[in-house]
Chain A
Amino acid sequence: MSVAGHALDGHSGNHHPEIRHQFDDLTQQHETYTLGMWAFVVQEIMFFSGMIMAYFVFRYKFFEAFVDASNHLNIYMSTFNTVVLLGSSFTMALAVRAAQLGQKDRLVQFMVATLLLGGVFLGVKGYEYNDKYQNNLIPGYNFEWTTSSSFGTYSEGADHVPLSASSGAPINYADFETQVSVFYGFYFILTGFHALHMVVGAGIILVLMWLSWKDHFSPEYYVPIEMFGLYWHFVDIVWIFLFPLFYLIDRYHSLGGH
């Protein structure tokens, strides 16, 4: 049993200053922190899944409105941003590697690169938000949907109006503009929470950069860098899902091909 092994190693003279009193050795401490971070990531996955779940439900309910609305998002910028964020995940992975090998300069350099790429992502995101603001696409604040639907006007064609199974009368669902506003509501909530996680991450990475610069980490003790890496990759994973869900799917159907 591996756990038993660690505790027995406790008296082997391993008195690294970074061992907290509740641990026997650095290996146990490292494994415990990593597991704790993964439990936190599980928590984060469920946190985002609730919102993505709600998005799925509305995408099914308000299919035409969501397809129309999503095709007005900027596919070029979002693809660029995806590449940027994958790149920052890559540099963060290399930063953890540098920390494992004790290469202090490369560690700091890769973290700077990660921070810069994250900054580019947030800058582009800010530009997109501003674009929505200019075009009155902020639900609850100023929202107008003037673009005509590629599916025709919503009220046209009885087969687009949901009918109640019991009475046969049209169900009074929200009108097309309201449905589009629901899409933009989710767009801002989900990308907003994602951006918030990135801002928090940027704050943490600044602290870690400072600590690395001050020789705080060594090949024996770099667990904060590794934990932050897990966090940053998780933020990347969230974007891996948000990108197709908001910007991509059903592009074909807005080209008139449905």
Chain B
Amino acid sequence: MTVQTNPIDQMPRIVEGATIPEKHYFNVEYGVLSWLLTKDHKRIAILYLISISIFFFVGGLFAALIRLELLTPRGDLVSSEVYNRAFTAHGAVMIFLFLIPSIPATFGNFLIPIMIGARDLAFPRLNLVSWYIYSLSATLFVTVVVLGGVDTGWTFYAPLSTSFANGYVVLTIIAAFFAGFSSIFTGINFIATIHKMRAPGMTWFRLPLYVWGHYAASLIMIIGTPVVAIALVLVVIERVFRVGIFDPALGGDPVLFEHLFWFYSHPAVYVMILPGMGVVSEIITCFSRKRIFGYKFIAFSSMAIALLGFLVWGHHMYVSGQSIYAGMLFSLITYVVAIPSAIKVFNWTATLYKGRIYMQTPMLYVMAFMGLFVIGGITGVLLASLAADVHLHDTYFVVSHFHYVMVGSATTAYMAALHFWWPKITGRMYSEMWGRISAIMIFVGFNLTFFPQFVVGYLGMPRRYHDYSFAPEWQIWNVMSTMGSSVLAIGFLLPLFYLTYSLFYGKVAGPNPWGAKGLEWEETTSPPSQFNFEKTPIVTQEAYDYKTPARDVSYQTASQKTINTPAVEAGNI
């Protein structure tokens, strides 16, 4: 590695004359089959990246339709039937095909083996199978949308879904079921990998926090997902065979469905956000050139969130007819689960304190994440209180709250990860200027879209209505929201262009353009070679060994490398 002393205000630190290695995972084989039959975790990550990007924009199209309809109080653009199908498609595609696999299946897949110093995930074939299951699920979703869609909402509440809904409920549920199993297999793979495949010296407390976040999310995947899978299977059984389970007319219990559904679907939020929090921990240390503040607190708070997250599902059901005792218990535990999330935010803020902060694109996204996550989290605490929720339940306040968490936080973290590891994945830098423009547009557009929804929700606008002509005074807020959503859409479309451009014309990044710490930056080329490392790395230091700015304002030089590769022959690669 060439020693380069760039001025401290220059970031990224492109080493002039850096080249892309001759052989790497991308060009080691050619041809469609070499991709469709690959067992390389990096190539499978690319397959996922392409698939979920497609479905992100598909889901976005339905969002655009929803926002256009709400521009005027009257339901004049689409009929209520079409509107119901549009928001169902938006929710189902975004949740099952984008958010759940977003960070784990792409960046988790790509980076976890590299970060822990392994050649691949524990079960490469299972990894490929999980992508095929995902694709099957996606195909089924597309089929449903083409055939005309469903109108149950992504929640499939019974007895609407079992007895009354029109459309292809069974097919949609089978698609969601498959998406769930794709996620379960990813979770099993990560758990086995993180436990058993770490390089020598990579102890639990030397793991990057990113890996901790994925470990916690994987636990949720294997514990929670099967429960929602069986709830959906029971819906299909009731709908097809008319066996009484959820429909009161057949002797069933509709609240039971909500219990089974939310037992997974609340923790599912943490499947989306925990890996995102891991991304933030990685980027915030790198771009403030400081060791993370409170490593163990962040690591354990991930685990605490994963475990406590299973005990709060009833906060979705305060007005659904659960007992008052359950309501109080769920409210209390929901307050408690806010504590580990807050711990993380405090620790990130403390990491920034007196750091040498660089405001490159990934860091801009991380800053956006912190602000939006705090707003999303605090409104979540508001909604967790029983009395307030009776007023706010099923209004746009809730819609806005969970978009702050899922788009404002999870998707922003996804974009941060995309921009941070893009040079590692492709070997090339994107245009920093366009990156910043798009990050700022996403931040501004997002707030313009969703902040008015807090207001209009507080004023009482119910979610899932396509006509609010009974309250035309809400229009101003909806106009603001729709305007914001177009800014947001452009912000999300821009990366499509400049990232694609960078693939061909971007500056060669070199192995470590951010001067970052971690095996993926210090021990692999960009893009990494087929088996990641030439030799199994041996880890001797804790993660994030950035020199504090007071002692060394510049970045580390090659002579201070913290990770050595003694002459240990790598295993049988």
Contact = CB atoms under 8 A, between A and B. Distances in A.
Interface of A: 1, 3-4, 6-8, 10-11, 15, 19-25, 28, 31-33, 35-36, 39-40, 42-44, 46-51, 53-54, 57-58, 61-62, 139-141, 173-174, 178-179, 181-182, 185-186, 188-189
Given A35-B195, A39-B188, A181 B251 contact: yes
Interface stretch (B43-51, B96-104, B252-260, B423-431): B252-260
Contact of A36 (B188, B242, B250, B568): B188
Contacts of B223: 42-43, 46
B191 interface: yes
B336 interface: no
Given A32-B192, A39-B222, A54-B260, A182 B251 contact: yes
Contact of B188 (A4, A43, A182): A43
Interface string B547-573: 000000000000000000000111111
A7 B536 CA distance: 8
B256 A54 contact: yes
A232 B231 CA distance: 24
Contacts of B363: none
A199 to B, nearest CB: 17
Nearest to A188: B243
B250 A178 contact: yes
B200 interface: yes
Interface of B: 113, 118-124, 126, 184, 187-189, 191-193, 195-203, 222-227, 229-231, 234, 237, 241-245, 248-253, 256, 260, 263, 531, 536, 568-573
18 contacts: A3-B202, A4-B201, A7-B199, A11-B568, A31-B196, A32-B192, A36-B191, A39-B191, A40-B222, A43-B226, A50-B234, A53-B260, A58-B253, A62-B251, A174-B249, A178-B250, A182-B251, A189-B237
Contact of B251 (A4, A22, A33, A174): A174
Contacts of B570: 10-11
A50 B196 contact: no
B566 to A, nearest CB: 11
Sort A-B residue pairs by CB-CB distance and give the 5 closest, nearest first: A10-B571, A174-B251, A185-B243, A47-B226, A24-B571
B244 A185 contact: yes
A147 B531 CA distance: 68
Contacts of B123: 36
Nearest to A24: B571
B200 A8 contact: yes
Contacts of A188: 243
Nearest to A185: B243
Contacts of B188: 36, 39-40, 43
Nearest to B243: A185
B121 to A, nearest CB: 7
Contacts of B234: 50-51, 54, 189
A57 B259 CA distance: 11
B214 to A, nearest CB: 14
Contacts of A58: 253
Contacts of B191: 35-36, 39
Nearest to B222: A43
Nearest to A19: B572
A23 B572 CA distance: 8
A50 B230 contact: yes
B245 A50 contact: no
B244 A174 contact: yes
A32 B256 CA distance: 37
A3 B231 CA distance: 38
Contacts of A6: 196
Given A36-B126, A48-B230, 17 more contacts: A4-B201, A6-B196, A10-B569, A11-B568, A21-B572, A36-B122, A42-B223, A46-B222, A47-B226, A47-B229, A50-B227, A58-B253, A140-B241, A140-B242, A174-B251, A181-B250, A182-B244
A144 B532 CA distance: 64
B122 A32 contact: yes
B532 to A, nearest CB: 10
Contacts of A33: 122, 192
Contacts of A42: 222-223
Contacts of B568: 8, 11
Contacts of A15: 572
Nearest to A54: B256
Contacts of A47: 226-227, 229-230
A181 B243 contact: yes
Contacts of B222: 39-40, 42-43, 46
B230 A7 contact: no
Nearest to A16: B572
Contacts of B118: 22
A62 B250 CA distance: 13
Nearest to A50: B230
A156 B430 CA distance: 77
Identify which of B224, B230, B260, B573 gathers the most chain A CB atoms within 10 Å of its CB: B230
A46 B122 contact: no
B237 A46 contact: no
B120 A22 contact: yes
Nearest to A141: B241
Contacts of A11: 568-572
B192 A21 contact: no
Nearest to B201: A4
A53 B226 CA distance: 13
A18 to B, nearest CB: 12
Contacts of B196: 3, 6, 28, 31-32, 35
B251 A7 contact: no
Contacts of B203: 1
Given A11-B569, A32-B196, A140-B243, A21 B256 contact: no
Contacts of B197: 3, 22-23, 28, 32
Contacts of B245: 54, 182, 185-186
A15 B234 CA distance: 48
Contacts of A50: 226-227, 230-231, 234, 260, 263
A224 B244 CA distance: 40
A31 B241 CA distance: 43
Given A3-B198, A182-B251, A39 B192 contact: yes
A31 to B, nearest CB: 6
A42 B224 CA distance: 10
Contacts of A22: 113, 118-122, 124, 197
B464 to A, nearest CB: 27
A31 B225 CA distance: 25
B135 to A, nearest CB: 21
Contacts of A19: 572
A32 B196 CA distance: 6
Contact of B187 (A20, A39, A53): A39
